[in-house]
Structure formats: structure tokens, C-alpha cells
Amino acid sequence: MSFPIQRPRRLRRNDTIRRMVRETELSVKDFIYPMFVCPGTGVRQEIEAMPGQYRLSLDEMKRELESLVKLGVPSVMFFGLPESKDLLATGAYAEDGIVARALREAKAEFPDLYLVPDVCLCEYTSHGHCGVIHDGDVDNDETLKLIAKTALAYAEAGADMVAPSDMMDGRVAAIREALDGNGHSQVPIMAYSAKYASGFYGPFREAADSAPQFGDRRGYQMDPANAREALREVRLDLEEGADIVMVKPALSYLDVIRQVRDQVDVPVAAYNVSGEYSMVKAAAHNGWIDERRLTMEILTSIKRAGADLILTYHAPDAARWLKEEQG
């Protein structure tokens, strides 16, 4: 009887050998945890569309950060819900704005936690768009001034890195100039370089109260059909001074993550966004999936595609599960 010479199953026979030959290793150090901070005291308001995620006042934020530090999660990203909104997004760059306050308090209590505020205006504008509106459209160059002003305010409040997500042309250069010109040349920029106009953002817009009041964001976020354009956006951001480039969302854009990884020699981040998270939570709630198994499979697929860093709402759970696996 003839037997196959090659038997790949030999290296799958038990957990030990599977771990020994595993090609992609997920680690807690890969995670950045997005958080929503809001005014008030004692606020811990669950986000209906994102079970397990909360709008947190700063006292509650600190309790959450303490838990994250114990789990070994190295970094958080802050999104802010301001007390009021206006046409020029003044809450984004105000010295006493919610994210600036969160940065100062978090850095004072958890100096080793790496703080990465999202830099955008949509949570702070009364119209919900990511910039200044002129004649019914977002004025790119006027918006750059406010984006740079916001990034600088965050750096001065203690941000370790800033992450512009607005998708305005030239915003990385504007931020780099503002930071370098004001004594913050050491603060890196993680650019949302390939940010797509995606239906996966729905739950986030509820969480951050940032849905546009008219139109949509397709005039500045990317067409989901385009991959070559993502590589162009990445190249432009790197030319302007980006230190890390990001693809957002992650799951439907694993091919883009891989193409970016193959083209650049800087770290690549990917954002496992709210809709991706909420689908897992909804299916798990209905008993249709094994939440732990599927979550870890998704996160591993994002890293396997080429992401060095993963922004994910699953970070606390995944950190606990990784600890359990390691004994």
C-alpha cells in the first residue's frame, strides 16, 4: 500500500507541537484599547450598540485604566464627548477639554501607560463632520488649522502619540509642523492613512455621538472598492512625517493591510472597529458562536495580515484570555 510522503498532520497532533510551529503569535503588547471619556462624576454608561463598552467620566476612567494596567494592556486611545458642541469644534482643542483633562489625569496616575488620543473634530462639531463647513462642504485647508491645534493641545496635555483620523489632505504635515514648532518633536504621529467610508462605523457614531447631521463622509473618507489608493495615501502620509500608518476598518480590509505591510518599513496599525466588535457580541449573545474562539481568531487574522498594532474593543477580554493560555 502506498502512503503519502508529506504528512502535514504530523505537526498538528497536539497543543504542544501546534504552539511550537505557530507562525503568528498574538500578544497583549499588540493592543491599543479605545475608550470614550465624558464629563461628570460616577458616569459609567453602557453603550447599547457596543455591549461591554462604556462612556466613562474621568473617575471611572481611572478605575478602568487600573484594570488595564494589571492586564498588561500597554496603550489606550481616547475619544471625547464634550459638554457642548459648536461650528468650530472648540471642545477639541480647549485647554480644559475632556480629552486634554483625561490625558493629564491618566498620565499623572499611570505614567507608563502609552496615551494616544484620536485627533478629529467630528465629536465636537454641531454638524458632526470632521472639519469646518463652507458652502455645504468640509473646507480642507481651514480644517487643517484646527486639526493641528488639537494635536498640539493633546501633546501639551501629556499625549505620548497623536492619531489624526480626519482624512484631510496634508494633515500629517500640518500636525508635524505644529508639534515641532512648539517643543514636541519627540511626539510621534500614527496616521489613519487608509480610512474607508465604511458601514462598520455605525455603533461608534452612537458611542461618540458623532453622526453627521447632513450628508455623509464619503467626500473625504476612502471608497471601499479601492486598494491602490490606500497605498498612495500611505506614501503621502509617510512623506509628510507619519511614524505609524493605519488601515481602518480591519476585517474587510485584510488584503489592504497586507499590501501596506509589504510596501512600507514602518509599523502598521489596524483598527478592529465598532461594527466588527458589535457583530461578535450580538452573535455571542444569541448563542450562535463561541465568543472567545472567534475573537481570538479575528485578532490573529489581523496580525497575520501584517498589522503590528491592533486597536480593538476586545483588548481587555483578549488580554485575560491570553493570560489564561499562558498559565
Catalytic site positions: 195, 248
What pairing do the DSSP bridges indicate for beta strands 133-134 and 190-195? Answer: unpaired
C-alpha cell at 111: 505614567
Report the candidate in 68, 107, 55, 132 with the shortest Cα–Cα distance to residue 315: 68
